[in-house]
Amino acid sequence: MPRTIIPFGPQHPVLPEPIHLDLAIEDEKVVDVIPTVGFVHRGLEKLVERKDYQEFVYVAERICGICSFIHGQTYCQAIETIMKVEVPPRARYLRTIWGELSRIHSHLLWLGLLADSFGFESLFMHSWRIREKVLDIIEATTGGRVIFGSCKIGGVRRDINPAAFQTMLAQLAGIEKDMREIVDVFLNDSTVKERLVGVGILTKEEAHALGCVGPTMRASGIAQDMRQLGYAAFDEIPIEPITRPEGDSHARCSVRCAELFQSVDIIRRAIARIPIGEIAVKVTGNPNGEYLARTEQPRGEVAYYLKANGAKNLQRFRVRTPTFANLPALVKMLPGCFLADVPVIVLTIDPCISCTER
Amino acid sequence: MNDEQTFPPVSVEDLVSKVREFRDLGWRLVQIGAAALGDTIEVTYSFDLGGRLSNLRVSLPAEGSPRIASISSVYPCSYLYENEMHDLFRIQVDGMSVDFKGKFYRTTVPFPFAPRKS
């Protein structure tokens, strides 16, 4: 059987961002894959030499337009650990709430893109319609829809008053009801299952060996979620990782669907328990030391390594994003699949090239 | 949350065998990252086991062409990190399972994170 090399990306209808795959095809089946990234590498890590460590929160938030808040939060957590800053409890709860709102809107965005990839346009639109309501909550509580600008070293910049919490709870009830309707379609509709069940299988052993993270890892049966580390308010609001054993595209969809409701539950528990008090402490001086902070972004574990020597500029700022960690798994999943399934499988790792090209 | 982290040093020669010990005990590779610090480049390998984090650190001289062995025979996913180290820091990684030959990142400036001579 002769081999044909088919280029997939960097410009492709299913990809809003540039990633390239060289697909070696025999007949209609993929037999080999070589990924290429780096088309828009921004060198943000290098900017740390020009921006002082306080300013750099803004840069960290701009690594990604979807999980922007958690990027800023992880950076702040790393600095706070190096400088031994105690973040006020209320700020930790507020970070938890905004982080989970980020997860809900990210997963809804992904569900819409997935529906679009297999041609279910009305499902795509419904997913994004619901996502708009989440963005409305974010806008009402932070002033931003993409970049929240709410996290700072030592706490947060904004508080949420009790009346706004009650409004948020009412809005979340409506969002939850809407999400149940679309999730039922994603998980049970026969045409959707036809495109996802048994497609792009990644075993538990492969997921571990390939360094997978997040929903991609949990959908292969590995119960690990960085929120279990207890950062922000997760030491007082414990969570159980959501897993599926199948390791296929449907399992990855199923994990994210279940995480939508898990996040709503976390927000409700956080609002019920949020303590009264300060939202930030003053931070003076410069950091001196090194730390690798990890949090759970919507796409999985993000690792922030910071090294400082007591100057206002850090010596090194390094981010390992979840998409970067999941690329080897993608390369493993594709051989053996049909060419028509490539867009779906690529999307099931929820690729964020903006993060990868930080 | 404020767990203490250590970055124990390991020699270039012992790196692969130390990494293999982590793999055999079931640790997941979290990241490989380099940092240019004057006349030294530090390469940090981070591993996770059930939420615990452990690190290994190799120090390479910045002068000349720093070399290190690939761990892709132990952790197959390491080739992306290793290509990244090469393209950003000019670290020569020997034995990578997939070598993009300097084309992993298309940067305007070659090896933009490598130490510059003052």
Q: According to CATH, what is the number of the domain A52-324?
A: 1.10.645.10
Q: What percent of chain A has pLDDT over 70?
A: 100
Count of domains for chain B: 1
Whole-number pLDDT of residue A196: 95
B114 contacts on A by Cβ (under 8 Å) = none
Can you give the CATH number for the domain in which B82 is found?
3.30.460.80
pLDDT category of residue B3 using cuts at 50, 70 and 90: low
pLDDT in tens, B75-107: 999 999 999 999 888 999 999 888 888 888 877
Q: Taking CB atoms and an 8 Å limit, are A211 and B46 in contact across chains? A: no
3-state secondary structure of B73: coil
Residue type, A64: C
Mean model confidence pLDDT for chain A: 93
Q: Return the closest-CA partner of residue B71 out of A20, A222, A218, A211.
A: A211
CA distance B17 to A210: 19
* Nearest C-alpha in A relative to B29: A211
Q: How many CB atoms lie within 10 A of CB A155?
A: 25
Whole-number pLDDT of residue B114: 80
Between the alpha carbon of residue A350 and those of residues A107, A184, A250, A325, the distances in Å are 9, 20, 13, 12
**Distant-in-sequence, close-in-space partners of A322: CB < 8 Å, separation ≥ 6:** A213, A214, A297, A299, A300, A301, A302, A352, A355
CA distance B118 to B109: 17
- Eight-state DSSP code of residue A145: S
Q: Name the β-bridge partners of B47.
A: B29, B54
| Nearest by CB: B1 against A38, A230, A305 | A230
pLDDT in tens, A259-308: 999 999 999 999 999 999 999 999 999 999 999 999 999 999 999 999 99
The secondary structure of chain B in percent helix, strand, coil, rounded to multiples of 5, reads: 20, 30, 50
> Best residue in B2, B5, B28, B47 to probe A by mutation, most A CBs within 10 Å?
B28
Between the alpha carbon of residue A127 and those of residues A67, A106, A112, A266, the distances in Å are 18, 11, 5, 21
What is the spatial order of strands in the sheet that A29-36 belongs to? A3-8, A20-26, A29-36
Whole-number pLDDT of residue A30: 94
Could you state, in order of their start, the residue ranges of all structural domains in chain A? 52-324
- Asked, for residue B60, whether it belongs to a domain, the answer is yes
Q: Taking CB atoms and an 8 Å limit, are A325 and B77 in contact across chains? A: yes
Crossing angle for the helix pair A89-117 and A249-273, to the nearest 10 degrees: 150
- Asked, for residue B34, whether it belongs to a domain, the answer is yes
pLDDT in tens, A142-188: 999 888 889 999 999 999 999 999 999 999 999 999 999 999 999 99
Q: Return the closest-CA partner of residue A306 out of A53, A73, A87.
A: A53
Q: Taking CB atoms and an 8 Å limit, are B33 and A307 in contact across chains? A: no
pLDDT in tens, A76-121: 999 999 999 999 999 999 999 999 999 999 999 999 999 998 989 9
Crossing angle for the helix pair A121-142 and A162-188, to the nearest 10 degrees: 160
- Asked, for residue B81, whether it belongs to a domain, the answer is yes
Whole-number pLDDT of residue B103: 81
Q: Over the Cα atoms of chain A, what is R_g?
A: 20
- Asked, for residue B42, whether it belongs to a domain, the answer is yes
| Nearest by CB: A229 against B7, B51, B98 | B51
Domain hosting residue B41, numbered range = 15-94
Question: Is A91:A153 a contact under the CB 8 Å cutoff?
Answer: no
What is the spatial order of strands in the sheet that B40-49 belongs to? B28-37, B40-49, B52-61
Question: Is B75:A211 a contact under the CB 8 Å cutoff?
Answer: yes
